[in-house]
Amino acid sequence: MKAKKSFLALLLLAATSMFLGCGQHVDPYLHDGVNWDGSNSGTLELINGSNKDMVVFVGQVPSKSSMLGGVRAGATVKHDISKHVSDFAVGGYAILRGVTKEEYDLNADDPSRAKIEFNAMVTYQGGVMYRYNINPNYMGDNGFKVTNNFRIGIELRKDSPDGEKVAYLPAMKQNQMVYTQNTDLLTLFPVYVYYNRETGEVSTLKTGSMFETVSAVPRPLGPNAKDIQNYYFPNDEKLTWESIVGNLKHSRAYITFTSNISNQAGYVTNAMSKRLVSQEGYDAIGSGESRRVFEIESTEEGEPKALTAVFYGGAIKIPVLFEGETESPVIKNGYDYTVTIDYKGEYEGSIQNEKNYKATIVEGKKRDISKQIESL
């Protein structure tokens, strides 16, 4: 009997452990107050490329009420940002702040005291998926400070306006720390990012002669840290806001792609070389998607761009052309373009025949930034 009772006790213990384990999985808030599982209906996809578990907040200052949720090291999770914004259906932009799980545990009562490991700007709109990659290159024990003296947000990008996103600085942000993995010199390009709440458009702006880079040198951080420099934008303190506004220009053309090719996703290239990534953070167009906006650098006067949509593992390459034209379309900075990728299936060979596909581009209006800038 004693043996039987012992065996039953073990069974009860195992069952209890399984029950509690299931409870832990179902309730992601059970232990540390962080939602690591995300939401199936979430529209903001976070990809954590670092080896650190990250806790993410919405807004400039982390707080318990502004916590979006967590994303484990190397994991991808979707979070629901709608409860943190008042205009989710219309669309807008939000600032993200990320801290490590260790920092959060040390400052759980007041997350505003935690060391902010990364910062970013993300856009959102009901029914539209957006993606943000947490880049491990800009997390670490080295760093420098940056100050934004502009009345417009700035993305700092490495080596070129199309380079890696190093950090996002809100308007007039002072002494923001940027962390790095190493102490290698960084050439930073300021790219001014403006979100129009009325139209739901993200515009990428630059100045003319004043669009100047800053070379920053990260240094080891810690209690005895020395020579942690603060870099300023603009890098010429004599420049006034009025002189900057007068030189703001669009640095990109904006191209929205729609595809009716069923059960297939494709990507967009310029001259079959560099694959373009959409403003929403995706490099592919899904079937029936109508909101994938890609940016491409051109000039005010316009340049021919050999845009090509690629499907079926690269076997089908569809040149993007104006209706009735055979030459590459001339694309101009600041203009909105719409591309419709169409599958007809009229020729023999069906999906294997490139003649069955067509990509037509239509030029829209140029975005007027004057009213936007005046309101800043």
Asked if 229 contacts 144 with a C-beta cutoff of 8 angstroms, the reply is yes
What are the residue boundaries of the structural domains of the chain, listed by start? 44-249, 253-370
- Sign of the torsion angle spanned by Cα atoms 37, 164, 126, 112: positive
pLDDT at 194: 76
How far, in Å, CA of 156 to CA of 172, rounded? 14
Share of the chain above pLDDT 70, in %: 85
Question: Is omega for the bond preceding 234 within 30 degrees of 0, making it cis?
Answer: yes
Residue written as tokens 């990509």? 359
Task: Give pLDDT tens digits for 271-291.
Answer: 888 889 888 888 888 876 667
Mean pLDDT of 125-148: 89
- pTM of the shown model: 0.74
In this structure, what token pair is assigned to residue 70?
């967590």
Q: Is 205 exposed, middle or buried (0-12, 13-18, 19+ CB in 10 A)?
A: buried
- Compute φ and ψ for 21, nearest 5 degrees: -60, -40
pLDDT at 32: 72
pLDDT at 372: 58
How far, in Å, CA of 44 to CA of 85, rounded? 13
How far, in Å, CA of 98 to CA of 58, rounded? 9
The Cα angle at residue 62 between residues 53 and 110, in degrees rounded to 5: 95
For 122, other C-beta atoms within 10 Å of its C-beta total 21
Q: Tell me the pairing of strands 186-196 and 154-158.
A: antiparallel
pLDDT band for 340, please (50, 70, 90 cuts): very high
Mean pLDDT of 169-176: 88
pLDDT at 126: 84
pLDDT at 352: 83
pLDDT at 255: 95
pLDDT at 33: 86
Q: Which residues pair with 216 in a beta bridge?
A: 186
Three-class secondary structure of residue 371 per DSSP: helix
Element (H, E) at 68: strand 67-71
Spell out the residues 6+ positions from residue 262 whose beta carbon is closer than 8 angstroms to its own.
Answer: 287, 343
pLDDT at 371: 60
In this structure, what token pair is assigned to residue 4?
């039987």
Res 9 pLDDT > 60: no
- Compute φ and ψ for 84, nearest 5 degrees: -100, -5
pLDDT at 302: 95
Task: Give pLDDT tens digits for 72-95.
Answer: 999 999 999 999 998 888 888 889
Q: What is the mean pLDDT of the chain?
A: 83
How far, in Å, CA of 35 to CA of 303, rounded? 47
One-character DSSP codes across 268-336: EEETTTEEP-BTTS-S-B-TT---EEEEE--BSS-EE--EEEEEGGGTEEEEEE-TT--SPPEEBTTEE
Asked if 266 contacts 215 with a C-beta cutoff of 8 angstroms, the reply is no
Res 133 pLDDT > 50: yes
In this structure, what token pair is assigned to residue 144?
């420098």
Res 358 pLDDT > 50: yes
pLDDT at 4: 44
Residue written as tokens 């939401």? 39
One-character DSSP codes across 201-256: EEEEEE-STT---EEE--EE-STT-----EEEESS-TT--HHHHHTT-EE--EEEE
How far, in Å, CA of 215 to CA of 209, rounded? 17
Task: Give pLDDT tens digits for 178-225.
Answer: 999 899 999 998 888 777 776 777 887 776 544 578 899 999 887 777
The CA-atom distances, in angstroms, between 239 and each of 60, 235, 325 are: 27, 9, 45
